[in-house]
Chains A and B, each alone.
Chain A
Amino acid sequence: MKISLFEKTGGAILDGLEAAGGTIRLLANSLYWCKAAPRYRSGIVNQMDVIGVGSIPVVGLVSIFSGMVLALQTGLELSRFHVEEMVGSIVAVSMFREMGPVITAIIVAGRVGAAMAAELGTMKVSEEIDALETMSINPVRYLVMPRVVGLVSMLPVLTIFGILIGIGGGSVIASSIMDVEPQVFFQKGVDFLSHKDVFSGLAKSVVFAFLIASISCYQGIKAKGGAEGVGKATIRAVVLSFLFVLIFDYFLTRIFY
């Protein structure tokens, strides 16, 4: 029994290390193939459209409600101390530093990461990736690199969009419930925001994009065992992306602040 448990633990650790190594290798390989990006511009633009334009409605919807909830919760507490006009600064700083990058990354991991893993997984189990290899077409160059470039270029844009929408949602609540004029709300936000807040938020979104793209593509191209295998790969891609976004968020926050 002890040996079995030992074997299971050891096996899980080895599998984890293999996946981590494979994901890093895949990311390095896809960065290497960025030199071929101009040749694949139509594929990259297509990915940017799917990732960026396709995610706008859901990012907007989630962000506006996040900003509204944030303004409501903090505003009600601040009004107890008669400093409710500070709600603008709290919403703006929270959205730029933390909520904007993390919420957008989580949405994109769920929507785009899952799609990447499912699409590449299906291609793997239906031998399409093997077919590319037999045609001397590098699957990382042809399939992974456009997805990585598309996600890394679009996630910061979506993050900025989400932050602005979230702050807008917060201002609606601040003016309608706490009688804080939008002008005061935005002025307080600008006063308390630093360049570092904006930079750290964007830097986080770039790191998250690399994480989501590399994890999802790796899980997809390692899928095996038919439809069930594709399903498992998709679940792993989403769960691991969520997990690593949150873990890296902590460490990046420690580095920046």
Chain B
Amino acid sequence: MIEIVDVWKNFGKKDVLRGVNLKVKKGCTTVIIGGSGAGKTVLIRHIIGLFKPDRGDVFIGGISVPNLNAEELEKVRKQFGMVFQSGALLNSLTVGENIALPLMEHTNMSVDEIMKVVGEKLRMVHLSGIEDESIANLSGGMKKRVAVARAIVRNPEIILYDEPTAGLDMVMARRVENLIGDLKERLGVTSVVVTHDIGGACRIGDRIAVLSEGEIVEAGSPEEIMKSKTPAVRRLVYGNSDHCILRRGA
């Protein structure tokens, strides 16, 4: 469904992505995991066309995203929902208006029909009845879930999550993880999740790709990643590459 082929991206003198290759299967949750500054967010932004690669290509259902013009890109993006790390909710609008915005812009639905859909999506993220709340009054976890509700309001085929549990306490992080799993089951969406949390990645991912220094160093099932002997993967899983070997030696 999504294919990233030899993508290179540099900012100034730094190569952030250095030949990334990745395939995301339809209906699966693929987690891209890596440390801070590994290029995870840059990679996910290439998928939805917010960045263009310096070299390489990104295909969505066989369509090359970097080569689309603005109008074509708008059409392709209608298949997507994206949850930003900060939520990126429009502060000048209420919760209901934020979620309704894509429907207001792209459909001829009446206000009543739209508000019905908004209520339904809020129920799905367990936040019923907060349509009239201001964004400023929401907690971090609520903002993330409202952002998820906005991302799914047009029933997208693909949802991209940028650090969906970053900055949340453990209970709220689990709730968001459960929500991601729940949406996959109920809506059958293809999900790409960017995170630095290996525990969360194993819980929600069908497949995990480890991004280190701008490259995918390993990809596989959560079990395969946990058993990996690649130093960069070990650093991510155990904090340092020698940890496991020392424990095993002892």
Task: Tell me the A residues contacting B by CB distance below 8 Å.
Answer: 123, 126-128, 130-138, 142
Contacts and interface: CB of A to CB of B under 8 A. Distances in A.
With most chain A CB atoms within 10 A of its CB, the pick from B50, B75, B88 is B88
Given A130-B50, A131-B82, A136 B77 contact: yes
A131 B88 contact: yes
Interface string B67-97: 0001000110110111011101111000000
Contacts of A136: 74-75, 77-78, 102, 105-106
B74 A131 contact: no
Contact of B89 (A128, A133, A134, A142): A128
For the complex of A and B, the 8 pairs showing the least CB-CB separation, nearest first, are: A131-B88, A127-B88, A136-B74, A134-B82, A136-B77, A135-B102, A127-B84, A137-B105
Contacts of A130: 45, 50, 84, 88
B31 interface: no
B32 interface: no
Given A128-B90, A131-B82, A137 B50 contact: no
B80 A138 contact: no
A127 B102 contact: no
Interface of B is mostly: mixed
A142 B50 CA distance: 18
A126 B89 CA distance: 9
A38 B50 CA distance: 29
Nearest to B79: A136
B33 interface: no
A70 to B, nearest CB: 40
B87 to A, nearest CB: 8
Contacts of A128: 88-91
A134 B50 contact: yes
A226 to B, nearest CB: 12
A162 to B, nearest CB: 29
Nearest to B41: A127
24 contacts: A126-B88, A128-B88, A128-B89, A128-B91, A130-B45, A130-B50, A130-B88, A131-B89, A132-B90, A133-B50, A133-B77, A134-B48, A134-B50, A134-B77, A134-B80, A134-B82, A135-B101, A135-B102, A135-B150, A136-B77, A136-B102, A136-B105, A138-B70, A138-B74
B101 A137 contact: yes
Contacts of B45: 130
Interface residues of B, number: 23
A127 B88 CA distance: 5
A123 B93 CA distance: 12
B220 to A, nearest CB: 29
Given A128-B91, A130-B50, A135 B77 contact: yes
B212 to A, nearest CB: 25
A222 B105 CA distance: 24
Contacts of A135: 77, 101-102, 105, 150
A47 to B, nearest CB: 12
Given A136-B105, A136-B106, A137-B101, A131 B84 contact: yes
A248 B9 CA distance: 41
A119 B191 CA distance: 32
A176 B111 CA distance: 59
A130 B51 CA distance: 11
Nearest to A131: B88
Contacts of B82: 131, 134
Contacts of A131: 82, 84, 88-90
A23 to B, nearest CB: 19
Contacts of B74: 136, 138
With most chain B CB atoms within 10 A of its CB, the pick from A126, A131, A137 is A131
Contacts of A134: 48, 50, 77, 80-82
B241 to A, nearest CB: 33
Interface string B47-73: 010100000000000000000001000
